A and B are shown apart, each in its own frame.
Chain A
Amino acid sequence: MTSFTPYSALLGGGIIATSVIILLLFNGRTAGISGIMHELLPPHYTHYGWRIAFLLGLVLGGFVFQLFSDDYAPPRQDSPLWLIGLGGFLVGIGSRYGSGCTSGHGVCGLASFSKRSLFATLTFMGFGGLSVFVIKHIIG
């Protein structure tokens, strides 16, 4: 059980907004994290620099947070690692096939009023809810 944290959620969301805004304003790029990760693979031989920097920044952002919060360790899911691996595998396939993930569709796409992204966001939330329902309430 986790408690509802509206203020830190809104604050975190606002910081994510500044992140996606500067990336579009300066670089003209969408902060779609699955896309940025994917484009490090061949055959995308150009524009590696900002992508590597962005992913490095994502990790650094976690370190910056830890500088200001004493001994925060995010709880683990505590599912077996093979199950997490299966989840990651489906996240990888699905985000490529569906051209985006929570950041690309759920934030940048919705902020651009894209119908595709609205459809994608509702679909992955619906299926995410369905898989959690099956795991928690049916399999138990």
Chain B
Amino acid sequence: MTILIGLLSGILFGLGLSIADMINPHKIINFLDIVGDWDPSLAFVMIGALIPSAIAFYWIRKRNAPLLDSQFHTSNLKHIDRPLMLGSATFGVGWGISGFCPGPAVTGLSFFNPEALVMVISIYLGFIVQKFIVKKLSP
């Protein structure tokens, strides 16, 4: 059952990204380009996503557990630390260069967009290298 919910949730997410045209890297780059021909669409996607989910999350979190599991698996981290800062900055640079974040890269595969495929592969390369760096750096 959790698999079916995962599938349904993924389909909705991919459909939402497609309807909002967030799979179009030009929309992303023009959102980030505030001194150019600024396209604020991405901000409206976030408003449309955040208002209902903030209200729903508030109610869901009052429960002791989700419907299909014994506990929530959400992050409990609170502190703004160095990895969060450096990681988010690195992510932002990559997002600006490519015009893709992970969701649109995966959904972009359905449009047989070779750029989406390059993104998915290079994101995984980044995961693997990151794991290697962290292992080297942490005692």
Contact = CB atoms under 8 A, between A and B. Distances in A.
Contacts of B30: 1-2
Contacts of A120: 84, 87-88
A127 B60 contact: no
Contacts of B129: 89, 92-93
Contacts of A97: 83, 86-87, 90, 130, 134
Given A87-B97, A101-B101, A53 B91 contact: no
Nearest to A115: B80
Interface string A53-69: 11111111111111000
A108 B75 CA distance: 10
Interface of B: 1-27, 29-30, 32-37, 39-42, 44-54, 56-57, 60-61, 65-69, 71-75, 77-80, 83-103, 105-111, 113-115, 118-131, 133-134
B107 to A, nearest CB: 4
B125 to A, nearest CB: 6
Contacts of B2: 26-27, 49-50
Most buried by B among A28, A54, A59, A74: A74
Number of contact residues on A: which range applies? 35 or more
A8 B101 CA distance: 19
A24 to B, nearest CB: 5
Interface of A: 1-6, 8-31, 33-34, 37-38, 41, 49-66, 72-77, 79, 81, 83-99, 101-103, 105-116, 119-121, 123-133, 135-137
Contacts of B85: 98, 119, 123
Contacts of A133: 33, 35
25 contacts: A1-B37, A4-B40, A5-B41, A15-B13, A17-B52, A17-B56, A19-B16, A21-B52, A22-B5, A22-B12, A27-B69, A28-B65, A31-B13, A50-B6, A62-B14, A64-B14, A84-B119, A87-B95, A97-B83, A99-B83, A102-B102, A125-B32, A125-B92, A127-B92, A130-B96
A96 B128 CA distance: 10
A124 B47 contact: no
Contact of A128 (B26, B32, B79): B32
A65 B105 CA distance: 16
Contacts of A109: 75
B92 A27 contact: no
B110 A59 contact: yes
Contacts of B15: 12, 15, 61-62, 64-65
A96 B72 CA distance: 21
B102 A95 contact: yes
